[in-house]
């Protein structure tokens, strides 16, 4: 498939998801295939199954070399995977921990973007529950940099979000 054309990346992703749907231990993002294993013994077997599965589906013409089995790495910009599981990058957690209390709607929206960058570590439903008091502050604001009516409840929610992100 020629890449760079409109919708080619989405089509390729959909095709890879379809081809790997039977392998519940595989996650795919474009041409990166991530193999998740519960234990060391499984981790020795799983990485060889995905490439052979793709070859059996005639998705690859020639099976290349299977990379070394590693016990961690970066899967996406927001996700580090180690023996302990999914972890947020330390720089992102530190940026959220140091984020100053927003004084206007633009700063609060910037905080939202930082917080929503880490959804794998903190369930999105829990994040939205924690952010609910801050979301209420944005309702009815007309201007871009309009001052916020900051309350004790909003301050508490802001600190809880920062703590949840730091401990995720």
Query: SS3 for 72-90, per residue?
Result: CEEEECCEEEECCEEECCH
Highest mean predicted confidence (pLDDT) among 28-37, 53-62, 98-107: 98-107
pLDDT digits 0-9 by tens, 64-73: 555 555 555 5
The answer to whether 118 and 166 are in contact (CB under 8 A) is: no
Asked if pLDDT for residue 79 goes beyond 60, the answer is yes
Write the DSSP symbol of residue 5.
S
Asked if pLDDT for residue 35 goes beyond 70, the answer is yes
Q: Burial code of 29-43, b = ≥16 C-beta within 10 A, e = fewer?
A: eeeebebeeeeeeeb
The answer to whether 57 and 19 are in contact (CB under 8 A) is: yes
The answer to whether 18 and 35 are in contact (CB under 8 A) is: no
pTM, two decimals, is: 0.54
pLDDT digits 0-9 by tens, 90-107: 787 888 889 999 888 888
């Amino acid at each position: 498939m020629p890449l760079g054309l409109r919708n080619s990346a989405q089509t390729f992703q959909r095709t890879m998801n379809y081809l790997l749907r039977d392998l519940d231990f595989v996650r795919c993002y474009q041409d990166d295939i991530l193999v998740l294993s519960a234990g060391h013994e499984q981790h020795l077997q799983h990485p060889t199954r995905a490439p052979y599965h793709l070859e059996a589906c005639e998705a690859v013409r020639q099976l290349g070399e299977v990379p070394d089995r590693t016990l961690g790495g970066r899967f996406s910009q927001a996700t580090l995977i180690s023996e302990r599981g999914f972890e947020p990058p330390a720089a992102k957690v530190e940026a959220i921990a140091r984020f100053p209390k927003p004084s206007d709607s633009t700063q609060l929206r910037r905080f939202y973007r930082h917080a929503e960058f880490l959804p794998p570590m903190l369930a999105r439903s829990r994040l939205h529950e924690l952010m609910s008091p801050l979301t209420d502050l944005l309702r009815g604001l007309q201007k871009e940099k309009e001052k916020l009516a900051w309350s004790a409840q909003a301050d508490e929610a802001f600190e809880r979000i920062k703590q949840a992100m730091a401990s995720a």
